[in-house]
Amino acid sequence: MKKIRCAIYTRKSSEEGLEQDFNSLHAQREACAAYVLSQASEGWSALPEVYDDGGLSGGNLARPALTLLLDDIAAGRIDIVVVYKVDRLTRSLLDFAKLVEAFDKAGTSFVSITQSFNTTTSMGRLTLNMLLSFAQFEREVTAERIRDKIAASKARGMWMGGTPPLGYRPDGRTLAIVEDHAKVVRDIFARYLDLGNVRLLYNALIDEGIGVPRRTASTGRPMGGCAFSRGQLYKILTNPIYIGEIHHQGRTYKGLHTGIIERAVWEEVQSRLSNNLQGERSPGQAKSPSLLAGLIVDEAGEPLVATHACKGKVRYRYYVSRTLQHDPDSTSTMGMRIPSREIEAAVAERLAEALDDPLALLASAGIAPKPDEVRATMASAEKLAGAVRRKEFMLVRKLVTRVQATSREVRVELLISALAAKLGLETPGEDATVQLTSPVRLTRTGMAVRLVHTNGTAATAGTPAPALVKHILQAREWWSRLATGETDITTIAKVEGINKSWVSRVVRLNFLAPKLVDEILAGTQPARLTTRSLVSAEIPTDWNRQREAVFEH
């Protein structure tokens, strides 16, 4: 007599009672084992493997024991799958069709001991499909009842579970305010109204070390203790929970909990957020805003226009004289074309340097803080300098009234009333300004016009040149492959689609003195050093002679 191998599969939707010595899974297995034993005369024999899924829904097939069962079926180790009821295997008609297909492919039958179904017959398949249709219908009706219950509860203003918003803790079917956390939420709303931009709000919180307060979820999982993300800030600023409302499927209900934010504040924040999202992007949101647009003029006092040019996917921004804007190919010596990145860096750095010594800056404007104001003024100026170095758009635009670019220097006019207000000092009545001077001049390096300091470094010193850094890294990568014999120069040139001579010259950068490499990576190399001049320079093996050969080339 042929031995028929029977695998018993059991499942329970909830975890309730699974900790008991004899639970639902044991009862299902015992009943199925007794049925298999009753068919011993037909050669049936229960396999010792246990296929139990406890606490898992039958709504999908992502179950560990079921996955193991299907693997064993595919391997030809099982002849019949035995279950207590059909819905123990699945409650989805679509999933059941997939299982039957897998069973048929492996020549495996399916038996439900309480319903006497066998998938080897057409009548058995029809009956099973009808039964599963009712099982799926019951599942969908149950889901609808749950959704209706949630909707009815929210209409009464109840909190229906989940992770409570920052500032609250669960309190039965409502929320209770956690005052320490609520202060953080109020501060976020107030800062947003002051700054008008989520990016600036994010930077301000980072600067001051204000992060997400530590909390513990109902499951015991720790939360918080890290910096706010922009997404979290948007979610907080748009969450109606904070004005005591519950929103559900486009409808608004009065919540049982107390709001944290006043409605007038909430509505103003929503209006600001809406305005920032509609129409053209605001300068604070733009990927590359023109920081000095409308502020910068040339030596004769003529405005420089913010413009840009695209090369491939890269966008290059400039401030250009009107003459050159109308005739880009003009060779007139009267026009100016200044790279935006460099002039903006020069202005921001000069302004930040002045803020590094706020007392001297204020003294030049005729303002002397009171003795009890000095410490707070110094602290505020330090934060302000950091924000200026990051080129925060709205801040720089409030402080700077005019920038004049000449052939030998850049002059920055600072509005004293705006500075005093930012430092928390008494604001002068008149619109007085202080002029700051940055000793940078226009020069031509290769095909490009650059701004350089008197010591020869670029106005953007401290910001590494991407092209130079790229070739330093490329040289090291290629040399490591050449040194091991993995490849040769001809192959590299062919793969990269460049000249062999260029590959040879780039590879030599691997032998630059560490100090020179450090300067390039720090962005403090001379402004006239370009990729082409670096690669074409003859690099001596003596590190002491390399500076003259490379940087003075």
- More confident position, 454 or 436: 436
Do 56 and 63 touch, CB atoms closer than 8 A? yes
Do the beta carbons of residue 207 and residue 290 sit within 8 Å?
Answer: no
Nearest by Cα to 479 from 506, 500, 498: 506
pLDDT at position 528: 60
At residue 48, the 3 state secondary structure works out as coil
pLDDT class for 125, splitting at 50, 70, 90?
Answer: low
Please report the DSSP string for 383-400 in residue order.
HHHHHHHTT-HHHHHHHE
| pLDDT tens string 425-439 | 876 656 678 889 887
Cα gap 166→147, rounded to integer Å: 25
The three state secondary structure string of 33-45 is HHHHHHCHHHCEE
Sign (positive/negative) of CA torsion 168, 173, 174, 179?
A: negative
| Candidate ranges 46-50, 109-113, 305-309, 425-429; pick with highest mean pLDDT | 46-50
The answer on pLDDT for 271 being more than 60 is yes
Domain ranges of the chain: 4-139, 168-277, 296-453, 466-550
CA distance 524 to 488: 33
* Mean pLDDT value of segment 357-384: 85
Predicted pLDDT at 447: 42
Whether 165 shows a pLDDT value over 90: the answer reads: no
Q: Which residue has the tokens 């579970």?
A: 161
More confident residue, 112 or 539: 112
Say if 4-139 and 168-277 have the same CATH topology.
Answer: no
pLDDT given at position 285: 47
Superfamily of domain 168-277 in the CATH hierarchy: Putative Large Serine Recombinase; Chain B, Domain 2 (3.90.1750.20)
Q: How many CA atoms lie within 13 A of 267 on its CB side?
A: 3
Per CATH, the number for 4-139 is 3.40.50.1390
Phi, psi of 435 (to 5 degrees): -95, 130
pTM of the model: 0.39
Range scoring the smallest mean pLDDT among 239-243, 414-418, 528-532 = 528-532
Lowest mean pLDDT among 29-33, 68-72, 165-169, 519-523: 519-523
Give the pLDDT confidence of 478-508 residue by residue, as tens digits: 888 888 888 888 888 888 888 888 888 888 8
If pLDDT is split at 50, 70 and 90, which confidence band does 160 have?
A: confident
Higher per-residue confidence, 162 vs 210 = 210
The pLDDT of residue 9 is 94
pLDDT, position 529: 64
